Amino acid sequence: MEELYSALYQRRVFSLDEAVEAAEKLTGRRSVRPYVSSKYLNGLVEDGKLERVRQGLYVVVPPGGGVVVDKLLLASKIRRNGFLGFHTALEFYGCAYSAMREAYVCVAARDRFRGFLYAGFSFRPVYVGDAGFEVVEGEYQGQPVRIESRERLFIDCVSRPKYAGGWEECLKSLEGLGGLDFDRLVGMLGGGYGGQTSVRRAGLVLEMLRGSSVFYGHLPEDVLDRVEGLVSRGYRYLVPGGGGRLVKRWRLIVPEGFSGLLRAV
């Protein structure tokens, strides 16, 4: 147990599968989940060296106690095939305007889990149609994490802003998202990712950010023209059921004062 504890210590947070892999490496023998759990992990929990967050997920208690929970690290361990998305991805990329007590893990329906609270944080699943599209491997706290690409993140946030903290938080966070590949973004929109609502919202937000952010100031007009060319006929509301003014280029009815959200304090 002590050797396994030492092997897992640097991870700080780990899943049962990772504990099995560590046990196999130490013993040189194949192990199964129930055996590792009952033989080693339960004893370490009883000794106060591990804390069970939920079934199959643990945090390491350092000598002397005092667990410090890292929200992103814990979220990255919940589902092997999941990935950090929306506001949690904005935090990973260092551009989130505000800190949130929630973490969003994007998963396919087969990997669903029940949201839970731990150490004052809320960990919530967000169901997505494709849990592999535009998902990259990043590094966080020295460990690999699955995270959505910047381009998918941009589209996801304007498509489902409630998971980005609402429109104001969404806009102010995207304002600081550097490194976007605009050609790739347009290609994803043209390929149907997000649908018509995303095309219109992306065009509107890109145009707004070009006038307010150094990360978008070099955005060529040609990119906006290409997005505009993807807009279908008819008009839609930016906020369903709401009023506002018509922005003809994007065929969107936008609430009065929406552009002022970037300047609001």
Average pLDDT on 191-220 reads 96
What fold is seen in the domain 2-60?
Arc Repressor Mutant, subunit A (1.10.10)
Cite the residue boundaries of each domain of the chain with CATH code 1.10.10.
2-60
Question: What band does 265 get if pLDDT is binned at 50, 70 and 90?
Answer: very low
Kindly state the percentage of the chain with pLDDT values over 90: 91
pLDDT tens-digit map of 164-192: 999 999 999 999 999 999 999 999 999 99
Sorting pLDDT into bands at 50, 70 and 90, what band is 206?
very high
pLDDT in tens, 225-258: 999 999 999 999 999 887 899 999 999 999 999 9
3-state SS of the chain? CHHHHHHHHCCCEEEHHHHHHHHHHHHCCCCCHHHHHHHHHHHHHHCCCEEEEECCEEEECCCCCCCCCCHHHHHHCCCCCCEECHHHHHHHCCCCCCCCCEEEEEECHHHCCCCEEECCEEEEEEECCCCCCCEEEEEECCEEEEEECHHHHHHHHHHCHHHHCCHHHHHHHHCCCCCCCHHHHHHHHHCCCCHHHHHHHHHHHHHHHHCCCCCCCCCCHHHHHHHHCCCCCCCEECCCCCCCEEEHHHCEEECCCHHHHHCCC
Share of the chain above pLDDT 70, in %: 99
